[in-house]
Every structure is written in C-alpha cells, then in structure tokens.
Amino acid sequence: MTGDNTGASSHDNRRQVLYWRLLAQLFDPEEQAALESASLAVVEDIGLPSALLDPKVSVGSTVQRHPELAAEFDGLMVPAPEPAGTEPEGADTRDRPAEVRRAALVSKVLLNVYGSGSGTVTADQLSRWQSDAGWLERALGCEPGALRGGRSTQGGAGRGDSPYASGGGTTPDLSRLIPTIGPELGAIEADLVRRMHLREVLADPELAARLTPSMSLIEQLLRDKNNLSGVALANAKALIRRFVDEVAEVLRTQVEKASVGALDRSVPPKRVFRNLDLDRTIWKNLTNWSPEEERLYVDRLFYRHTARKTTPQRLIVVVDQSGSMTDSMVNCTILASIFAGLPKVDVHLIAYDTRAIDLTPWVHDPFESLLRTNLGGGNDGPVAMAMALPKITDPRDTVMVWISDFYEFGRSQPLFEGIEAVHRSGVKFIPVGSVTSSGRQEVNPWFRERFKALGTPVISGHIRKLVHELKTFLA
C-alpha cells in the first residue's frame, strides 16, 4: 500500500511541476529556470517530444512531426463522463500516468494560445496563433473557430475531421464555455491584429497571402478600407471575399437544415432518383412477386413529396453597425443574402449607427453590402426605424429582425415606442442581441425587460436560434 501511495505521489508531483511551469511562463517568465529543467525531465521520461515545452513551436507543427498526438488533442479538455456503476468506498480509480501526459498536452495548447507576448506581430505569427487557437477549441470539443465567433475553420496540421466524430469525449457545456473562453480568444486575436502593421502586410502580396481571415481581421479591414488603395485594397477585398464565402457556406447549411414548413401534396413529386420511395415501391408491387423466379417485377415507381408550402413574405433586417456589433453585422449581412435567394421571400437590409443606409440593392451580394458599411460611431435607432417603416406594406406577412445591443444614449424611449407600434400593427418583430457563433453580446437591460413584457424576448445566443425563428415564420 505504501508503494502505491509513493507511486501516486510521484505522478502527482510531475503533474504539478508541469502546471506550475505553465503558470510561471504566463505570469512570471523570469522565475522559472528550475521548472523548465524539471518539466523537460518529466516530458522526456513519459515519452513525449520536448517541442511541447517550446511556445515558439505551434501545436500544428508538433502534430505534423508526431501525428499520433492529433487524436490526443481532440477533446483533450472535455470533462470525462461519470463512470457507470459504483466503486468501493475509498477506491482510487485515477489513472495518474495519463493525468501527467494530459497535463503536458494541456500546458502546450494553453501556453501557445494565452502566452501571446507583446510587440509587433507578423502575418506568420498571427496565422500560427489562429492555428493554435483552433487546436484549443478542438481540445474543448468544438469546431475550430466556433468559440471565437467566426466561421468554422480547419486548424492544425491538415487534420480536418471534427473532434465530435473522433471519440474526443463528451460535448462540453457550451453555455458555460462561450461566455468566458470565446470572448477571451476573440480579444487576444483582436489584440494581435492591432499589433500588426496591417497596411504594410496588405501591400505585400506574399505577406498578405499568409493571412487567414477571421472576424477580428475582417473588422479591422472594414474599419480601415477607406485608407487603403492599390494592391493593399485589392488584398483586403480578397480577404473579405474569402471570409464572406466561408461564412456563407456554413450559414447556408444551417438554413437548409432548418424546418421549412409542411409538405405541399398538391405539387406532384419530382420523378428523380433521390426522391424514390423505395419502401413504398416494393410494398405496392408485392403482387408482382414471382416465387418461381424469386424476382419482384416493378411496374410502377413511387416518389416522395419534397415541395413545401410557401407564401410570399417580406423580411426586413435592421443591423446596428456601431463598433460593438461588427460580428453581427457580418453574419446578418450574409444571412440576409441567403434568405434573399429563397423563393417568394422579399428581403430588405438596413444598417445604421447615427445615420441609416439602405443596403437592399446589394442584399444578394454580402461582399458588396459590407464594403458599403461604415463601422463605428453611436446609435440612433429612430433614424433606422424611419427608413424601415415605408417598407412595411402588409404587416401580417412581414417579419422585422432588429440586431443591436440597444444602447441608444438618450433615444431609448422613441425607439421602443416605434418598435411597439410596429409589433402591434401585426408585424412579427424579432429583437436580437447577438447573431454570432460565440453567442455573446451585452444587451441594454432597459430594452430587454420591455421586450419581454411585449412578448418579444430578445434572442441572444447562437446564430442557429435566429435561423430557426426566421424559417418558422417564413415557412
């Protein structure tokens, strides 16, 4: 028993050394020489590469050299499920050697992401950090890019499969992770982008090609686009276009998967192979079964109905383009373009800060819409409402989506009165505090309470919530 305790204590000490070294690197890098040597001895003793201790080596590079580690990083930090059954009282079921190994891998990904340093950042450094952040998100059981509020990206060393499907553990409680980890990652990435000499990078095609578009980078490009010209402007537009296309692909999938209304059986089913109802075809042709030949003769094919009942609808999307709402502006502009491509849906798009701009002529092209935005400034919701009201022709067949944090600074009461009048006219009004992948946005409590009393509570969370609401109404 004493020998077991001694072994357990040894493993616990090793694990503590690795975590103390992580804390020292993050908070006091000058006072950790002894921890460095001790950690190196631990890592080598358990058969892991020393590159795990070098923050200059990305997680992706480490996995490229040691591909067997990829599966260990996926779901690494997802809480393990409770063991089934009951264990004898006092039984120690911990796998301490595995805990030491896990501590080394966790330390690697945390240090690479949170030890972002200071000073000027190069395009390569930003790209490496984005890849490492993707590995952290995978370690948490999420798709790379999911917690940072951007599109789902493929991070790491060419390994594109999701940890959900790789046995990486149970899915974490994102409602707890998103309000804390997501914004922190977004803030670090935004800081890295600010520390870049972005205009100089964009002016160099070779350096610009190394940039991986993200929400933080797109925000900076949209803010600075009027100060760019020539090659730098062309590279900025290419990055924005690339990001828009990637987000659009993700959002389009979510729209297609959402409920789209009841089947319309008045429309004959399309006679194509993908609609073939094999079970019904066999059942209806059973009378043609030949026992002698053991063969079923089919003289009639049956197909599934896929057409859905739809009615003409008008969708008015009003988006706050002040500085705090950049990710919502990007996502909603793209989402509006997707809905604009649906049959019998008339989509109008308005962006506002202290002024309002009607982006409806470009609603089918989110790239062109975003180039016409002017991020920053204050909020004047009544100005946007004045532009939106003439677009309401049939209130019962109109949905108005208003995306904002609703901090109006002196204009709260006029805006709410306008919204209340729109709602009482029969328009389906949907207030949204966030349409990001991270699901985080502060909403003015004054408005939140009044929307709740009005029977139109604020949607604040994953963009899938807004997609579901819109599809339910437009179906």
**151 and 25 share one domain:** yes
**Is 141 found in the same domain as 275?**
no
Mark which of 272, 307, 342 sits at the end of a domain: 307
pLDDT, average across residues 10-27 = 84
The per-residue pLDDT for 374 is: 76
pLDDT at 179: 53
Residue 322 has pLDDT above 80, yes or no: no
Does 381 lie in the same domain as 462? yes
Domain span at residue 461? 313-474
Number of domains into which the chain is organized:
3
Give me the chain's average pLDDT, please: 79
Residue of higher predicted confidence among 272 and 283? 283
Q: Which one has a higher pLDDT value, 20 or 154? A: 20
User: Could you tell me if residue 254 is inside a domain?
Assistant: no
Decide if 246 is inside a domain: no
Residues 446, 324, single domain; the answer is yes
- 371-388 pLDDT, tens digit per residue, is 888 766 678 899 999 999
Regarding predicted confidence, which is higher, 344 or 353? 353
Please check whether residues 167 and 288 belong to one and the same domain: no
Asked whether the predicted pLDDT for residue 310 surpasses 70, the reply is: no
Same domain, 335 and 427: yes
CATH code, domain carrying 468: 3.40.50.410
Tell whether 134 is covered by a domain. Answer: yes
Mean pLDDT for 73-89 is 69
Residues 392 and 403: their CA atoms lie apart, in Å, by 18
